[in-house]
Amino acid sequence: MEKRQLGNSGLEVSALGLGCMGLSFGYGPAADKTAAIALIRVAFDKGVTFFDTAEAYGPFTNEELLGEALEPFRDQVVIATKFGFEGGDSKAGLDSKPETIKAFVEASLKRLRTDRIDLLYQHRVDPNVPIEDVAGTVKDLIQSGKVKHFGLSEAGAQTIRRAHAEQPVAALQSEYSLWWRQPEKEIIPTLEELGIGFVPFSPLGKGFLTGKIDENTTFDKSDFRNVVPRFTAEARKGNQVMVELLNRIAEQKGATGMPATPAQIALAWLLAQKPWIVPIPGTTKLHRLEENLGGAAIELSAEDLREIEEAAAEITVQGERYPEALQKRVGN
């Protein structure tokens, strides 16, 4: 797989990373540990060198899983993790106090079975802690060798600028896909100006852009999509038009001699936006992993991109991307 640089940071990663959250958290019951470790190692064998986790995924279990899975080839991969919730619990309040960050890093290093974190993100902006204090704390951790690069997640342009002035930000992680394009207004221009990489999570619209979800799909009771307005049955029915667009393009394209899939086109579209964008699709299934990685082999022409752009401009996506309580945690 081709490699990409995350902005001006010098951090080189595979063009597609692996978002590991769903192996432990968020999309129903945790995957079988043995199967999850096998999937992570298959991803590495197929060229993935960028793996994303967080203390809140579990909490803690996802970091432990990733640490065990990557230990045999630790020096050949880039591990990203995140801090920022009280006690590591995403349902609790935000906590980015300097002492909390330092304690998190010590615990995270043990869970990840490593002596350094390649990319350390603040998971959500904490309004009670100045971002300069957060950036300064990570700067100290970088100087001590425990962290290599600083990142932000779901931060707004103003926060990104303030943080970057204190400690260069290597990457911003936020949602971005064909059905959530808000970052194009202010975030992407800011990142381009400052030389910061962009790591889109949910590049397949939390699974919707795979074409495998419709208004009749039911989710496990622990699946957080149950509370997402965009995933009501009515919204899912209305949003099929986006999948139909991807299917149309997929029919014209192919990867490795096989017909392309909507997921592959969605990922290829993201990769075509900027050379410093590195999506991190997640999955619990080996065949989906292989399908996703095939997206990196698809090159969309200027004509393809224009066709997608014109068709997407006619589509109004139904439903908000977050319930109100979660949307309040998106930074300014």
Whether the pLDDT of residue 257 is over 70: the answer is no
| Domain spans of the chain, in order of start | 3-327
CATH code matching the domain that covers 3-327, chosen among 3.20.20.100, 3.40.50.300, 3.30.1320.10, 3.40.50.2300: 3.20.20.100
Query: Active site includes 176?
Result: no
> How many residues are recorded in the chain?
332
- pLDDT tens column, 116-133: 999 999 999 999 999 999
Based on its alpha-carbon atoms, the radius of gyration of the chain, rounded to whole angstroms, reads 19
Q: How far is CA 31 from the centre of its chain?
A: 19
Give pLDDT, residue 182: 96
- Mean of all residue pLDDT scores within the chain: 96
Catalytic residue among 27, 57, 121, 322: 57
Whether pTM exceeds 0.95 = yes
Answer for the pair 280, 201: CB distance below 8 angstroms, yes or no: yes
Question: Per-residue pLDDT tens for 11-60?
Answer: 999 999 999 999 999 999 999 999 999 999 999 999 999 999 999 999 99
DSSP 326: H
pLDDT of residue 255: 52
Q: Using CA atoms, how far apart are residues 184 and 94, in angstroms rounded to an integer? A: 27
Please tell me what DSSP assigns to residue 30. Answer: P
> Looking at the predicted structure, is the pLDDT value of residue 312 above 70?
yes
3-state secondary structure the chain: CCEEECCCCCCEEECCCEECHHHCCCECCCCCHHHHHHHHHHHHHCCCCEEECCCCCCCCHHHHHHHHHHHHHHHHCEEEEEECEHHHCCCCCECCCHHHHHHHHHHHHHHCCCCCEEEEEECCCCCCCCHHHHHHHHHHHHHCCCEEEEEEECCCHHHHHHHHHHCCEEEEEEECECCECHHHCCHHHHHHHHCCEEEEECCCCCCHHHCCCCCCCCCCCCEHHHHCHHHCHHHHHHCHHHHHHHHHHHHHCEECCEECCHHHHHHHHHHHHCCCECCCCCCCCHHHHHHHHHHHHCCCCHHHHHHHHHHHCCCCCCCCCCCHHHHCCCCC
Read off the pLDDT band of 172 (50, 70, 90): very high
Element holding 122 (H helix, E strand) = strand 117-122
Tell whether the model's pLDDT for residue 232 goes beyond 70: yes
Element (H, E) at 52: strand 50-52
Sign of the torsion angle spanned by Cα atoms 215, 273, 26, 22 = positive
| Residue 96 confidence class, pLDDT cut points 50, 70, 90 | very high
Phi, psi dihedral angles at 42 (to 5 degrees): -65, -40
84: confidence class by pLDDT, cuts 50, 70, 90: very high
Looking at residue 332, what is its pLDDT? Answer: 84
What pLDDT, on the 0 to 100 scale, is given for residue 254? 66
pLDDT at 331: 85
